[in-house]
Amino acid sequence: MEKQNPARSLILSGSFGVLSTISVDLGGYPFGSVTPYCMDRMCRPIIYISPIAQHTKNIVADSRVSLTIIERTESDDVQAQGRVTCIANASEVAAADLDVRERYFRYFPSSRQYEHTHAFEFFRLELVRVRFIGGFGQIFWMGPEEFMMANPFSSMEEARIIQHMNQDHPDVVRRSLGGGAAEMVGIDAEGFDVLGGDRKVRIAFASPVKNLEEARRAFVDLARRLP
């Protein structure tokens, strides 16, 4: 069984982090704020921010940023929790890139209202280095080429899978979340994401998939194992 990258697994399981930018108003001091994100088809973070926000003004002046995601657990011992920090350059996503736009809105449906009312803009974090801390003996840096993984599904294929699972196999989607209202919103080589209300849950495949047939088999296997 192919072992998944722990840093990538952590960031794929999250939905928000602390975005740190270089302050314009405070003479180059770091400025951190909580920011939602989703991942694009190369496993790079996408953020959706307002032109009037402080971190947007900072990014326009200096594109160097970091995004830190901390593992969510019930423990209060933050030092024992996994965390990953992406050092990156933020670049504005072209308006013609509808794939990023629609993927983000699937993950954050309520954000669609900002599209016309507040002129929010999409930015992609172009990775420079990634730092992972997962506990004792699990501390390392990695380059973008080690961290990133291409999504094997095109935007059209992903949309077809999502529609098929939500319409034809809603019981599997609900059971993967543990019951209740649920909707699949994204899939990649290593797993898929389900929304239950305002909570996102990451479901990892037993091993990475490379095409539609392997994805089909992974879902069949999952359906057999789910309670």
Predicted pLDDT of residue 2? 56
pLDDT tens digits, 146-183: 999 999 999 999 999 999 999 999 999 999 988 889 99
Contact 16, 35 (CB under 8 A): yes
- Domains of the chain, by residue range, sit at 6-147, 155-225
- For 155-225, which CATH superfamily applies? PNP-oxidase-like (3.20.180.10)
Rg of the chain, C-alpha, whole Å: 18
Predicted pLDDT of residue 75? 65
Predicted pLDDT of residue 22? 97
What is the CB-side half-sphere exposure of residue 179 using CA atoms within 13 A? 1
pLDDT above 90 for 40: yes
Q: Is the sign of the CA dihedral 156, 158, 159, 160 positive or negative?
A: positive
User: Would you state the structure tokens that stand for residue 141, as one six-digit string?
Assistant: 């840096």
Predicted pLDDT of residue 24? 95
Predicted pLDDT of residue 106? 96
pLDDT tens digits, 45-75: 999 999 999 999 999 999 999 999 998 876 6
Q: Report the distance separating Cα 173 and Cα 157, nearest Å.
A: 18
Predicted pLDDT of residue 119? 79
Architecture of the CATH domain 6-147: Roll (2.30)
